[in-house]
Structure 1
Amino acid sequence: MKARQFALLTLLAATIGLVGCQSGQKETAAKSAAPMETADVTVTKVNLGTVPLTVVVPGAVVPDEQAQIASRLMGFIHDLNVKEGDHVKKGQLLFTVDPTDVKSQIAQAEAAYRQAKAALDDALADYERFKKLYKEASVSKQQFDKVRLQYQVAQQNLAAAKAAFDQARAQLKYAHVKAPFDGVVVKKMAANGDLAAPGKPVLIVENLETMSVQTDVAEDLYARLRIGDEATMWIDGVDHPVKGVIYTMVSAADPKTRTHTVKLSLPKDLKNINSGTFVRVSFKVGERQAMMIPAQAMVVRAGITGVFVVDSDNKAHFRMIRPGRRIDDMIEVQAGLSLGERIVVSPNNKTLMNDEPVKVVKTLDSDKGA
């Protein structure tokens, strides 16, 4: 079907050229057969070039640092004044949790500590008294051992009570929840007055200064990739492709999707990119040979894409082509040309007429194409 369409378009291109030629003949006759001026042109030869074989997979922009901010305490939220989009600094207070319950626990732990300390003081006094009596043989060894054991238990009880007291006091600092790094609040999931609970996120903060692209690839593609490989990426909202370098490859496959996570760096000069932005990532997995021409050689006539081919008589003929992929400043030609043919690449190819005589003033290196 494509070959038939191309043949029909080729016929149309020839018709356009013929009409142009007839028009030119009539115009020439009207001017008393005045000789046609010869256009100076630059040409290059159609040559083989390298076209990369690629696999394109979807991905997304992700932050290198992301934190789900939750309270370690159970309590009502207060002083939650940040909103989504706000920038926060490391150590900045994000919200507080009502410390009433914690203070109650501290008071209980302190009372238990004081009670254990008083019990130890009594046990120490008994121990010292019975130690003296035992030396005087006024009490039995069994009685002394019992008092000594009570003293040792009192020491252990005091140590446990002190640890509980210290832990309760330490919990108080968790009532003030602070930002772990410089970043932006990207999601707010609670409000003042809500009940905070351990493990229940209140905010999500991301560091938008260090972003990456994350994609999940199948096993066969993963096996071809290496850390340090470069990929081409198209990011939604960015009007040009950017280069990224693989810096993380997760060897363990996701048990559900059977894919591997791959992360790529983003250019440092790329600004105002939001996390979650859709990305198409193109990985090079090989290459092939194809006919290539400079992109500047292509012209469009009557909606048909083609080039001007210079024959052995130095006449330029419009030839329809079927272009393929663009690689930098070169275009793959899938049909319409043959290797070694000369094509016009100078800027005046936009004004050339079909069958117009030309003077080749420069031939470019076909390997460079420019």
Structure 2
Amino acid sequence: MPKPFRRLFFASLTASIVVSLLSGCGEKPAATGGGGGKGGRGGGAAPVVVGQAQRKIVPLVIEAIGAVEPIRATAVRSQVTGILQKIAIKEGQDVKEGDLLFEIDPRPFVNALKSAEADLQKAKVQLETARTQVARYRTLTADQMVSKEQFEKISDTARSLESEVLADESRVSTAKLQLEYCSIRAPLAGRTGNMSVHEGDLVRVNDAGGLLVTINQLNPIYVTFGVPQQYLATLARYRATGTLKVTVVPPGIDEKPEEGLLTFMDNTVDSSTGTLKLKGSFPNDSQRLWPGQFATVKVTLASPEALTVPSAAIQTSQAGQYVYVISAEKVAELRPVVVERIYEADAVIGKGLKDGETIVVDGQLRVIPGRPVDIKDPAAAGKAGKGGKGGDGKGKKKEKEAETKPAEKRAAD
């Protein structure tokens, strides 16, 4: 091909390529714009799930973490030294007040009691003889048969023997008490703990390791907890109107609360923590509360009626909290509200709503104030969400197949 024709051919080829590229670039924005129009926020009514503002009883509560403590607890120790002859209980056994727990060999204490009784009997005989002599010498002194000094000496002897009789009676009482201590009984009703002694062991009085068993009263029982000091005035005001109700949810599978009453408010605030110590008393008939256990505590101050909405309806912006209110024409309105407090799944509204108004609970992201909404059933909305996920999966599968087929065709060519 001659050189001038060759230049002309390449020039025309370059022009056709440029035209093709420009036409291709012009088509892509149009396709993108169309997709954006379908997926835009302004396309159609926004699907939402709604609820209603309604008045209901919403308890005013204070929550805290508490620890379970026995109202009465005792560490059983021996009050005499001797051989542990019998253990009458088992570990973890429920006992009643006065039940026999342990027996210590009583023979040494029986002998001590007999000896004290013998000394007392001897002192009584001597006292009786001395009193007889006093009566006789009183008559002789009146007749001046004996001197007054002799009479006073015999009288002093009688008084001394009276004191000795009193001392012997005290020793007999002590010996009887020591003998009673050989039978160790439960000082209160409760459940026994771990035992570190065995039959045949020598137990001693005032021994640091001489603990026989501990007994904790399980019903009724305390739950001790602390609340911040700023609640002091509120607690005092509501407690003045009557006894406050306390509920406890012990940890576990069964989350049914135990009900009790607030029975103790400490007379001082702990300066190190800034908390006020409180105690609630619980019957604990089912024994779900156990000493040393931690549990969630709620003190109910009052049970007023208030306007509430589901807490999921509350939205937050830089201007404050708000909800979407749906009119009778199914048009959304942004309404600022004042939320006083949250209780479980409800938000207590102090200002901004009226009883019976319809509000958006789910789907707020697609709502535009002044635009209509499409009210969906909560159950149907949940199913649609699941179906949408499945549809996305199928769409991705088809796209993948479409991409794979041309590749396979090119490989075959």
2:248 is equivalent to residue 233 of structure 1: yes
Using the TM superposition, give the Cα deviation of residue 176 of structure 1 relative to its aligned residue in structure 2, in angstroms: 0.7
Contact 1:60 1:215 in 2 (8 A): yes
Following superposition of structure 1 onto structure 2, how do residues 119-134 of structure 1 map, counting pairs within 5 Å?
A: 119-134=126-141
**TM-aligned CA distance change 1:222 to 1:89, over 3 Å:** same
2:285 is equivalent to residue 277 of structure 1: no
Using the TM superposition, give the Cα deviation of residue 66 of structure 1 relative to its aligned residue in structure 2, in angstroms: 2.5
Give the one of 191, 196, 204 matched to 2:198. 191
Using the TM superposition, give the Cα deviation of residue 117 of structure 1 relative to its aligned residue in structure 2, in angstroms: 1.9
Using the TM superposition, give the Cα deviation of residue 49 of structure 1 relative to its aligned residue in structure 2, in angstroms: 9.4
2:226 is equivalent to residue 209 of structure 1: no
Give the one of 59, 65, 72 matched to 1:58. 65
Give the one of 263, 282, 293 matched to 1:247. 263
Secondary structure of 1:128 counterpart: helix
Contact 2:219 2:285 in 1 (8 A): no
2:172 is equivalent to residue 157 of structure 1: no
Point out where structure 2 has 5 or more consecutive residues left out of the alignment. Answer: 1-35, 315-322, 333-338, 363-374, 386-413
**TM-aligned CA distance change 1:309 to 1:216, over 3 Å:** closer
Following superposition of structure 1 onto structure 2, how do residues 58-137 of structure 1 map, counting pairs within 5 Å?
A: 58-137=65-144
Choose between structure 1 and 2: higher helix proportion: 2
Contact 2:78 2:203 in 1 (8 A): no
Contact 1:76 1:98 in 2 (8 A): yes
Aligned mates of 2:223, 2:120 — CA distance in 1:
54
Aligned mates of 1:343, 1:249 — CA distance in 2:
43
Using the TM superposition, give the Cα deviation of residue 258 of structure 1 relative to its aligned residue in structure 2, in angstroms: 7.7
Partner of 2:310: 294
Aligned mates of 1:167, 1:255 — CA distance in 2:
48
Partner of 1:342: 359
Percent identity (aligned): 24
* TM-score, structure 2 normalization: 0.58
Choose between structure 1 and 2: higher strand proportion: 1
Aligned mates of 1:118, 1:256 — CA distance in 2:
68
Aligned mates of 1:72, 1:190 — CA distance in 2:
15
Letter in 2 for 1:88: V
Aligned mates of 2:186, 2:343 — CA distance in 1:
46
Q: Deviations over 1:329-367 (max 9, x none)?
A: 52579xxx999663379992231369xxxxxxxxxxxxx
Aligned mates of 1:182, 1:255 — CA distance in 2:
36
* TM-score, structure 1 normalization: 0.64
Contact 2:49 2:378 in 1 (8 A): no
2:179 is equivalent to residue 179 of structure 1: no
Secondary structure of 2:267 counterpart: coil
Letter in 2 for 1:230: K
**TM-aligned CA distance change 1:256 to 1:92, over 3 Å:** farther
**TM-aligned CA distance change 1:43 to 1:258, over 3 Å:** closer
Structure of greater relative contact order (alpha carbons < 8 Å, 6+ residues apart): 1
Q: How many positions carry a matched residue from both structures?
A: 308
Contact 1:183 1:206 in 2 (8 A): yes
Secondary structure of 2:191 counterpart: strand
Secondary structure of 1:209 counterpart: coil
Secondary structure of 2:87 counterpart: coil
Contact 1:189 1:202 in 2 (8 A): yes
Contact 2:116 2:168 in 1 (8 A): yes
Contact 1:217 1:260 in 2 (8 A): yes
Using the TM superposition, give the Cα deviation of residue 325 of structure 1 relative to its aligned residue in structure 2, in angstroms: 8.0
**TM-aligned CA distance change 1:174 to 1:147, over 3 Å:** same
Give the one of 132, 152, 155 matched to 1:148. 155
Aligned mates of 2:39, 2:163 — CA distance in 1:
108
Q: Deviations over 1:69-89 (max 9, x none)?
A: 223223232312423211223
